[in-house]
């Protein structure tokens, strides 16, 4: 577990999804996400991976978070797919559902090495294709996220390897 404060500060600095700009409970929902990410992360690198995946897979949109809208084959903030053989729920607005989905996404992230050992390769494998064109963009966001989180907790900064 890492401190949730830096994770929440980072999330609140990001642009909300277009459809969530008027959401009355936006800050509370971002706090829920921050605490779930922090509780499931053993390092800032884990948190950076979960935050990057949530940003690119669902843009942290409420409709996707709740499960009301699916993003293709995936479900929830981290777009976990039923074929991943991970246990549900992958979506939902409760603490239990969000932290469980974060746990399952992080488990998959750590085991997404079939395309190589680099961070970009992990993002490609998580997306389902070693030829995933957006992997480098996600890698840049990941390292920026890791840098931003380490400003708050420099002693927690760990090796950025997945």
Q: With respect to residue 87, please indicate whether it lies within any of the assigned structural domains.
A: yes
Query: Residue 138 pLDDT > 90, yes or no?
Result: yes
Give the CATH number, domain containing residue 101: 1.10.530
Q: With respect to residue 162, please indicate whether it lies within any of the assigned structural domains.
A: no
Which of 19-33, 61-75, 77-91, 104-118 has the weakest average pLDDT? 77-91
Q: With respect to residue 161, please indicate whether it lies within any of the assigned structural domains.
A: no
How many domains does the chain contain in total?
Answer: 1
The residue-averaged pLDDT of 50-73 equals 89
Backbone angles phi, psi at 9, to 5 degrees: -60, -40
Instruction: Kindly report, residue by residue over 2-53, the tens digit of the pLDDT.
Output: 999 999 999 999 999 889 998 899 999 999 999 999 999 999 999 999 999 9
Q: With respect to residue 99, please indicate whether it lies within any of the assigned structural domains.
A: yes
DSSP string, 92-152: -SSHHHHHHHHHHHHHHHHT--TT-SSHHHHHHHHHT-TT-TTHHHHHHHHHHHHHHHHHH
Q: With respect to residue 37, please indicate whether it lies within any of the assigned structural domains.
A: yes
Confidence of residue 155 (pLDDT cuts 50, 70, 90): low
pLDDT for 162 equals 55
pLDDT for 25 equals 93
Domain that holds residue 90: 4-156
Helices 135-152 & 119-127 angle (0-180, nearest 10): 120
Average pLDDT, the chain: 89
pLDDT for 107 equals 93
Confidence of residue 82 (pLDDT cuts 50, 70, 90): confident
Instruction: Kindly report, residue by residue over 139-151, the tens digit of the pLDDT.
Output: 999 999 999 999 8
Burial (0-12, 13-18, 19+ Cβ within 10 Å), 63: middle
pLDDT for 95 equals 94
The residue-averaged pLDDT of 67-87 equals 82
Q: With respect to residue 42, please indicate whether it lies within any of the assigned structural domains.
A: yes
pLDDT for 131 equals 87
């Amino acid at each position: 577990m890492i401190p949730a404060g830096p994770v929440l500060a980072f999330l609140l600095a990001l642009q909300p999804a277009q459809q969530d700009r008027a959401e009355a409970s936006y800050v509370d929902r971002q706090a829920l996400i921050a605490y779930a990410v922090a509780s499931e992360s053993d390092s800032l690198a884990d948190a950076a991976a979960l935050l990057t995946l949530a940003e690119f897979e669902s843009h942290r949109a409420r409709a996707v978070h709740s499960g009301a809208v699916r993003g293709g084959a995936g479900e929830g903030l981290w777009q976990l797919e039923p074929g991943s053989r991970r246990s549900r729920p992958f979506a939902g607005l409760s603490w239990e559902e969000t932290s469980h989905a974060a746990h399952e996404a992080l488990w998959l992230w750590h085991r997404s090495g079939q395309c190589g050992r680099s961070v970009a390769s992990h993002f490609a494998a998580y997306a389902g294709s070693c030829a995933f064109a957006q992997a480098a963009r996600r890698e840049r966001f990941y390292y920026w996220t890791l840098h931003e989180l380490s400003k708050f907790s420099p002693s927690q900064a760990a090796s950025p390897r997945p």
